[in-house]
């Protein structure tokens, strides 16, 4: 359970981290499985596979857990695609330097972007939408 003495943004940040961890685990698992099943698969294609599945985990998780209200899927898609572009820019930079490539580079790329995505979700995607019940305590998380 998340400490109720934290300010709302802190509680949302903690819930965002939990949903983000689930989405990231989904992303990494599916990218890893894609690379394992198809060893010649381009790492960007594997990354896109993981991203597509993680997008749905994010949307439903942030709707029902993080923000406790419906969000605009189109806006979430825009923010997520922006995060995915940043993710791929990091992946490209890591590959270009020769420091990391393949799955280890994907791991780094998908763990760097979340702070900006949280702020965009909080202040643009889930702003002013209909409330849902907070799955942690059965009440609206926004009064």
Please answer whether residues 31 and 49 qualify as being in contact, where contact means their C-beta atoms are separated by less than 8 angstroms: yes
Is residue 61 domain-resident?
yes
Q: Which two tokens stand for residue 77?
A: 């898609």
**SS3 assignment, position 140:** strand
pLDDT of residue 139 exceeding 50, the answer is: no
Q: Which two tokens stand for residue 64?
A: 């029902």
Four-point Cα dihedral 136, 121, 72, 62, nearest 10 = -20
pLDDT of residue 65 exceeding 90, the answer is: yes
pLDDT of residue 119 exceeding 60, the answer is: yes
Is residue 16 domain-resident?
yes
- Residue in the structure block whose two tokens are 């599945």: 53
What's the pLDDT band for 136 if we cut at 50, 70, 90?
A: very low
What average pLDDT does range 85-113 have in this prediction?
87
What average pLDDT does range 32-39 have in this prediction?
95
pLDDT of residue 137 exceeding 90, the answer is: no
- Residue in the structure block whose two tokens are 């857990």: 65
Is residue 63 domain-resident?
yes
Tally of domains within the chain:
1
Is residue 15 domain-resident?
yes
d(CA 64, CA 56): 12
pLDDT of residue 138 exceeding 50, the answer is: no
Residue 142: exposure state from Cβ atoms within 10 A (0-12, 13-18, ≥19) = middle
What average pLDDT does range 54-79 have in this prediction?
90
Is residue 3 domain-resident?
no
Threshold 0.85, pTM exceeds: no
Is residue 142 domain-resident?
no
What's the pLDDT band for 143 if we cut at 50, 70, 90?
A: very low
Structural domain of residue 103, as residue ranges?
A: 8-125
Is residue 138 domain-resident?
no
Tell me the helix, strand and coil percentages in the chain, rounded to 5: 70, 5, 25
């Amino acid at each position: 359970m998340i400490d109720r003495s934290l300010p709302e943004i802190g509680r949302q940040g903690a819930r965002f981290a939990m949903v983000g961890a689930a989405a990231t685990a989904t992303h990494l698992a599916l990218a890893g499985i894609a690379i394992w099943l198809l060893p010649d698969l381009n790492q960007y294609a594997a990354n896109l596979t993981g991203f597509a599945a993680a997008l749905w985990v994010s949307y439903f998780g942030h709707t029902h857990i993080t923000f406790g209200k419906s969000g605009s899927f189109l806006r979430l898609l825009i923010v997520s695609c922006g995060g995915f572009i940043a993710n791929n820019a990091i992946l490209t930079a890591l590959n270009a330097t020769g420091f990391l490539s393949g799955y280890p580079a994907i791991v780094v790329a998908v763990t760097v972007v979340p702070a900006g995505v949280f702020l965009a979700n909080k202040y643009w995607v889930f702003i002013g939408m209909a409330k849902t019940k907070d799955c942690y305590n059965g009440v609206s998380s926004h009064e």
